[in-house]
Chain A
Amino acid sequence: DGGITQSPKYLFRKEGQNVTLSCEQNLNHDAMYWYRQDPGQGLRLIYYSQIVNDFQKGDIAEGYSVSREKKESFPLTVTSAQKNPTAFYLCASIKDPRLLGTEAFFGQGTRLTVV
C-alpha cells in the first residue's frame, strides 16, 4: 500500500541534543512538507520541498533543518537551537502542487518530547 511513513512515533530528546525525524513516501509525490502542531493548535509550516535538492523555509524554520536528497525522503532535524521543540510533528506530500486542488496526504506523526 502506498503512503507516508513517519518514524519514530514517539521520540525523547535531552536538552542540547539534535534529533532527526524520518519521513518516507512511496506515492511518487513531488512535494513534501513538515508541520508542527502544538496542543489545541493548528498546523504551522516548518519547511517544504517541491523537488529533489531544493527546499524553502516555512513560517517557523528557525532551529530546524531539512534535506531532500531523494524524492521519497524528507528528513527533519530538530537542532539544539530550537528552544521549545516539544510538539507533534507531521509530514505531508502532494503529487504535484501546480495542479489544481491536489490534496496533501499526511503521515501519522512523531511526538517529540524534551526531557
Chain B
Amino acid sequence: EDQVTQSPEALRLQEGESSSLNCSYTVSGLRGLFWYRQDPGKGPEFLFTLYSAGEEKEKERLKATLTKKESFLHITAPKPEDSATYLCAVQETSGSRLTFGEGTQLTVNP
C-alpha cells in the first residue's frame, strides 16, 4: 500500500527565512510525485511533477527535488503570500490511484 508522510505538520517562518518541506513516500513503483498548494477553503493548485530520482523543478521561490525515498520542497526567501498548505501526492505505476500526504501548513510572517 502506498504511503506518503509529510513533515513538519506546520511551519512558521519570518519573511525571507528560507526552509524546506519534506515528503517521504513508499510505493512499489513511482509514476509521478506531485506537489500542490492549497489555500483555505479552496481546491489544491498544481505546482510540480517529478518523475525520477535526481530531478529538480523550480517556480519562482519554490524548488522541488526528488530522491528514491523522498522529495523536498525548498522555499527561498518566502513572502507572506506563500502562506498555504502544501500537499504531496504519489501515483504508482500499477494503477490510477493518487495518494496524498497530510500536508504541511506554512505560515510566513511579515
Report A's interface with B, CB cutoff 8 A.
4, 6, 31, 33, 35, 40-45, 48, 50, 58, 88, 90, 92, 94, 97-98, 100-109, 111
Contacts and interface: CB of A to CB of B under 8 A. Distances in A.
Interface in B62-97: 87, 89, 91, 95-97
| Residue from B45, B98, B101 with most neighbouring chain A CB atoms (10 Å) | B98
B43 A33 contact: no
Given A42-B101, A106-B43, A31 B96 contact: yes
Given A40-B105, A107-B43, A97 B96 contact: yes
Nearest to B96: A97
A58 B96 CA distance: 11
B98 A94 contact: yes
Nearest to B47: A103
A8 B9 CA distance: 30
